[in-house]
Structure 1
Amino acid sequence: MRQGVSGSVVTAVGLSAMLMSCSSAAPHAAAPPPGPAVAVEPLSIGAGAVDTTGGSIPDGQLISPFDVKNPAVEFLEPALLKAIQDAATAAAAEGVDVLLTSGWRSKGFQQRLFDQAVTTYGNADLAAQFVASPEKSMHVFGKAVDVGPVVADQWMIANGSRFGLCQIYANEIWHFELAVDATGACPPLRPNAAG
C-alpha cells in the first residue's frame, strides 16, 4: 500500500492518474526484520496501546535507502537492504534516483493502515487487495520496500531482477521484494495483496 499526501490509500483511479501524469510517488511505510537485536513486536507506548507510527515516513517525503538511521531502512532484512542499496547505486549511475516511500513497518502501524483501508473500501476483503494485514505484510518482517518516484518504479521493474528484486503485485508498481528464482527470473505478478 502506498500512502497519499493525506495518508490515504491510493485507489485504482488515483494510481491511473498518478501513472498518467508520471508524478512522484507518495510515501509508504515499512516493516520489522527478524534479527537477533531487533524487536519484531510493536513498541508499547502505554497501557493497551501499540506503536501506530513505527516505520512511517512522513507524507510527501522520500528517503534514501542509505539512511540506515531511519527505522524504515534500519530494520530491513540485511539481504534486502543490500539489494536495494545496490540497485539505487546502479540507477544513480543512469541518472535515476531510487528512493523509498516505505520499508519496515511496525505491526501497529500496519494495522492502522489496514484499518484505514477497511474504512476506505468498506470491508476487509476489499481492503486486503490494497493493504496486507499485519500478519501477512512483508513490510512487517522487513522483507519489502516501496520505491518512488514513478521513474524509479519503472527503472526497478526493468532492472530490479539483476539485484534479486521483483515487483510482486500488479496493482502496486512500487512494491518490491527479494523474489528471483534460481535462474534470476521474477515470479508472475499476483493481481494484488490479497491474491
Structure 2
Amino acid sequence: MSRTTSSASLSRTALRMLAVVLVGAVATVLGIAIHQSATSTASPSTGSPTDIALGPDATSVEQGGLPEGVTAFDEGYPGVDRLEPDLLSALQEATTAAAVDGVDIVINSGWRSREHQEQLMRDAIVKYGSAEEAARWVATPDTSAHVTGAGVDVGPFEGTLWLSEFGARYGLCQIYGNEPWHYELRPEAIDQGCPEMRADATHGPGDGH
C-alpha cells in the first residue's frame, strides 16, 4: 500500500470517528431537550397540590393569587403583603442569602383569602376522592396557615432544596414531610434547629396548609 493510499484510508477513518462523535453529541442534546420538555409537562403529582388544583391564574390577586416569579421583595400583591411581618422579613433575608449562592427563591402561594382556601379544599376533595385524603394536602379556612399569613409555599425545586439546608438559620422550617414547598416561621429554630416534621397536617397539632 502506498503512503498516499494509507493517508487516504486514515483520513476516512478519522472522518468516520468524527461523524460518530457528532451523532452522539446531537443525540445527547436532543435527549436533554426531550427530558426537559417532558418534565415541564409532567403529571401534576410532581408539584404542589395547591398549584395542581387551581393553577397560577385561577384566582385573583385580591384573593391571594400570585403570578410566576414573585419574590418576598415584590410589594403590591396581597399574597405577599399580608404575610406575617416576621415571616416576610425572614423570607427576605433568606432570599438575599440564597441569591449569593446563585439560587432563586420565589413565592408560589402566600396569604390566601378564606374564599380561595375554601375553593382549594373543594377542588382537593374532588381530586383526592374524599375529605379525609384532601385534608392531607389542603386545610380548611379555619386551620390554614395561609389564611392567617403564617405559611408560605416556595419554589422552584432549587429554592426548596436550599431552604431545607439553610432555612433554620432564618427560623424558616418545613413543617410537613409531604410538602417540601411549605414553610412557616419557627424563631426558636435559629438556635435549636427546626422541629421534627410531621407526616402531614392530619398528624399532630399545628397550623394547616
TM over 0.5: yes
Q: Deviations over 1:75-123 (max 9, x none)?
A: 0000000000000000001100111101000011001001100111111
Partner of 1:125: 132
The Cα of 1:181 is off from its aligned counterpart by 2.8
Partner of 2:65: 56
TM-score normalised per structure 1: 0.72
Conservation of the 8 A alpha-carbon contact between 1:28 and 1:101: no
CA RMSD, aligned part only? 2.6
The Cα of 1:184 is off from its aligned counterpart by 3.1
In structure 1, distance between residues paired with 2:162 and 2:107: 13
**Structure 2 gap segments, 5+ residues each:** 1-39, 55-59, 204-209
Q: Which runs of 4+ in 1 moved over 6 A?
A: none
Percent identity, please: 43
Counting helix residues as a fraction of each chain, which structure ranks higher? 2
In structure 2, distance between residues paired with 1:101 and 1:27: 12
In structure 1, distance between residues paired with 2:78 and 2:187: 26
How many equivalent pairs are there?
154
Q: 1:104-119, aligned counterparts within 5 Å?
A: 104-119=111-126
**Structure 1 gap segments, 5+ residues each:** 19-25, 30-50
Alignment CA distance shift 1:122-1:53 (3 Å): farther
SS of aligned partner of 2:192: coil
Partner of 1:176: 183
Partner of 2:170: 163
TM-score normalised per structure 2: 0.68
* Match among 82, 85, 90 for residue 75 of structure 1: 82
In structure 1, distance between residues paired with 2:192 and 2:61: 36
Q: Per chain length, whose mean CA-contact separation is higher, i.e. which structure has more relative contact order (CA < 8 Å, sep 6+)?
A: 1
Which has more radius of gyration? Answer: 2
